[in-house]
Chain A
Amino acid sequence: AQSVTQLGSHVSVSEGALVLLRCNYSSSVPPYLFWYVQYPNQGLQLLLKYTSAATLVKGINGFEAEFKKSETSFHLTKPSAHMSDAAEYFCAVSASSASKIIFGSGTRLSIRP
């Protein structure tokens, strides 16, 4: 079975500061990992995904995430936060043998001026 844990339901950073959103996963088989973003009053959209091609994955809007098997982590980072990054972020996992995606509980990112 697969699961994800997002550490911190709410993260607040200053504009221009580093963004770090934490995600740990559990999977008995090699996982596919995703980060989705949800802007207010919208559905989720894909930021990036890990499919074993490379451990450092670059996504849209300057975000990237690094797959660390030894730490079972897939943390999301962005070097410099922008006001438009304020949203809810979801980490998700899918097993290599299935199509279902298991979502974490989400982290709300706030940006301080």
Chain B
Amino acid sequence: DADVTQTPRNRITKTGKRIMLECSQTKGHDRMYWYRQDPGLGLRLIYYSFDVKDINKGEISDGYSVSRQAQAKFSLSLESAIPNQTALYFCATSVGGAGNEQFFGPGTRLTVL
């Protein structure tokens, strides 16, 4: 079984709809991250959480919100989806401390029409 799972894997929705992307991990890591990937832009950090009570905005948090329901679960919500939020979204986890690698889920491809 995968250590970091994301649901759904693909989603097509319409402008104005509320969308939730879910991430679960079995690695026992404290830290979890949400990124979006756009062609030519690499990965950009949306939100990150160092533990259940510590949630921080990344570089592109506008239009997104998150919830850390448990150590193993970190959800990303789009309250009112817009077409420029069409992207590939990745969840990642890591242990605490500098220099530690992040482990990525398989991604969710979101299309907003």
Residues of chain A whose beta carbon lies under 8 Å from any beta carbon of chain B? 9, 32, 34, 41-46, 49, 51, 90, 94-101, 103-106
Contact = CB atoms under 8 A, between A and B. Distances in A.
B104 A45 contact: yes
Contacts of B97: 99
Interface of B: 4, 31, 35, 40-45, 48, 50, 58, 90, 92, 94, 96-102, 104-107
A43 B101 contact: no
B82 to A, nearest CB: 23
A100 B90 contact: no
Contacts of A41: 106-107
Of B43, B45, B92, most buried by chain A (CB within 10 Å of CB) is: B43
A103 B42 contact: yes
Given A43-B106, A44-B90, A99 B101 contact: no
